[in-house]
Amino acid sequence: MQKLRISPKEFKRRTDLVIDSMKERDLNAFIFWSSVSIFYLSGFAFIPTERPLCLILSKDGTKTIFGPRLELEHAQECLEIQDVKTYPDYPDTVHPMTRLGQLLKEMGVDSGKIGSDGAGYGSSQGYRGPQLAEVLPLAEIVVDPYLVEEMRMVKSEEEIALIKESCRWGNLAHRFLQNYSKPGSFENEISARASLEATLAMMNTLGPLYDPTTIGRAGASAGFRGQIGPNSALPHAMSINAMLKPGDVLVTGAGAGVFGYNSELERTMFVGEPDKEKTKFFNLMMQAQEIAFDNIRPGRKCSEVDAAVREFYEKNGLWDYWRHHTGHAIGLLGHEAPFFDIGDHTIMKPGMVFSVEPGLYVMGLGGFRHSDTVLVTETGMEMLTYYPRDLESMIC
């Protein structure tokens, strides 16, 4: 069996699409700064820092990595990369961007039209430097930050297979999480134990089929991220290492990284039988998610899914408990475009993968949110996550 990773054939398909776009716009080369785009086109995963690194794609399909010396051997291991050019370090006596300009001149692509997914390198880790146009004064820089992002919206069969594998191990991690969610246990203890056991099972089961190359997390994980008790009413809470106690509402999250691809599984659980108020909001949340499912099909706008859910909120007087849109695409990143939001009119197409997660957040009581990963099909949608969703199954 082949490793769980993207094949050379798929990388070529992606590269050919970029080259076709370059030819249409008469671009001599395309420079990618985004680590996600670089991984998508080559499978080269690296840690972005203050040191500039880019992928130069030539018209003939040659892929050249330009980056710091410390990445040389690492980049040479990537079979999809044909050449690696390095500079000593940042900032050094000659700025890396100056060296990039010199390299592009040597490659014969320092003039004419050059595509780039950014005006230059950007980093929040202390980087300062000139823009691409400043080191290529003879070139016309055509900035297109969305070329690869739009390609990533529709997943290939290989990508869908990796996301399904992610769902499989996220499901196991969540099962361990629920099993260990007992009163008196601390959230970080539960999460660490569940994540470790699921990851060990994943590694032992897949063995050499598992390729840990990733731009995100490797292995499986599950946790609460602080969404415990009243704190579960904060959609993006941070871990507080709370101790679980009877009556707590728990909002969970689980997934697994498989060659960079992710899935999203979230559940609302209860430590003991929920009271009437918690049951009411749980059932309303479930209705909202079902409405979203019913509106997912090819040919419709992403905004229509969110609009249908918002109509449900309006009819039931739930706006005080609304905090965010209905969902988002998922793949190499946990959040990707397009979005189930009234402002996103992207047409849904077969092969798109989304999270579906309308939530209700009641301050002082708790948060209520399930999230499932779904695939848009030719006729509707396919649920990729399969953990139980009903109230009885959510009681710890």
Tell me the domain boundaries of the chain.
8-151, 153-394
- The predicted pLDDT at position 1 comes to 61
If one counts every other C-beta atom within 10 angstroms of the C-beta of residue 9, the result is: 9
* Residue 215 confidence (pLDDT) above 80: no
What would the mean pLDDT of 195-210 be, rounded to a whole number?
95
C-alpha atoms less than 13 angstroms from C-alpha of 195 in its C-beta half-sphere: 20
Top CATH class of 8-151 equals: alpha beta
- The helix or strand, by DSSP H or E, that contains position 116, with its residue range, turns out to be strand 112-116
Tokens 């003939």, located at residue: 60
Q: Which amino acid is at 248?
A: D
**Mean pLDDT score, 357-373:** 98
Mean pLDDT for 197-216 is 89
Look at residue 2 and tell me whether its pLDDT is greater than 90.
no
For residue 212, name the pLDDT band (cuts at 50, 70, 90): confident
Specify the pTM. 0.96
pLDDT in tens, 152-181: 999 999 999 999 999 999 999 999 999 999
Among 68-82, 113-127, 215-229, the minimum mean pLDDT is found in 215-229
Instruction: Check if the beta carbon of residue 262 is closer than 8 Å to that of residue 273.
Output: no
% pLDDT > 70, the chain: 99
Categorise residue 63: left if φ over 0, alpha if ψ from -120 to 50, beta otherwise: beta
Give the pLDDT confidence score for residue 90 in this predicted structure: 98
Average pLDDT over residues 340-346: 98
Residue 39 above 70 pLDDT?
yes
Helix, strand, or coil here: 319? helix
Are 183 and 228 a contacting pair, CB within 8 Å?
no
**Fold for the domain defined by 153-394:** Creatine Amidinohydrolase (3.90.230)
63-111 pLDDT per residue, tens: 999 999 999 999 999 999 999 999 999 999 999 999 999 999 999 999 9
Whether the link from the prior residue into 91 is cis, omega within 30° of 0, is yes
Quick one: average pLDDT of 21-29? 97
Question: Quick check: 90 and 52 in contact, CB under 8 A?
Answer: yes
